[in-house]
Amino acid sequence: MSDPVETPKRGWLKLLLFVSLAANLLIVGIIGGAFLSNRGNDGPPDRIARQVQSLIGAPFFRALPDGDRRELVRALDPKRDRLKENREALRGRFEAFLGALRTEPFDAAMVKKLLEEQRLVAVRRQDIGEDLLIERLEAMTPGARAEYADRLAKSLRHIRRK
């Protein structure tokens, strides 16, 4: 019988797969949370409202008065093409990431580059949401902004207790 050949240890591969799984679960959680958190809300319950909520964050969206929520939803309409391009870019980078994972020999530098590009695309998406929120906040009176801050603080305290 011949001696078994030792295979090189690939701990980094397990770590990369774990990070990939965690990132996928995070994305699924964000999407699922955005979908589920809008049920029973007194704001606009449609898909576009959920999309705005996912762009700026559920607590920021829910703390807005109904009228401001509707205005945010309306303000998103002209930005739909940018968001569609953004989603397509994320999808394309994710496909490239999957391809890089399956390529031998494994190119860690390529995977790192793809992850960095994906993060930049996600940041651009968040920038769209932040711009929408800032526009709404600028349109508020000082009293309305103070009331918004109170509702947001209350919401965040409630989240921390959970």
List the structure tokens of 146: 């103070």
120 pLDDT exceeds 70? yes
Q: Which of 17, 28, 10 is nearest to 97 (CA)?
A: 17
pLDDT tens-digit series, residues 84-95 = 777 787 788 888
Q: Which of 82, 46, 35, 43 is nearest to 61 (CA)?
A: 43
Mean pLDDT of the 119-143 span = 88
Stretch (H or E) spanning 148? helix 142-161
User: By percentage, how much of the chain surpasses pLDDT 70?
Assistant: 69
Mean pLDDT of the chain, nearest integer: 78
Cβ atoms < 10 Å from Cβ of 142: 7
Which of the given ranges, 68-77, 86-95, 132-141, has the highest pLDDT on average?
A: 132-141
Mean pLDDT of the 91-117 span = 88
Mean pLDDT of the 68-75 span = 85
Which ranges of 6-141 does DSSP label H, i.e. alpha helix?
11-37, 47-56, 58-62, 66-76, 80-102, 108-139
Q: Which of 30-34, 79-83, 110-114 has the lowest mean pLDDT?
A: 30-34
pLDDT score at 3: 57
pLDDT score at 134: 92
pLDDT tens-digit series, residues 6-49 = 555 666 677 767 677 667 666 766 766 655 554 444 444 466 66
Mean pLDDT of the 63-76 span = 85
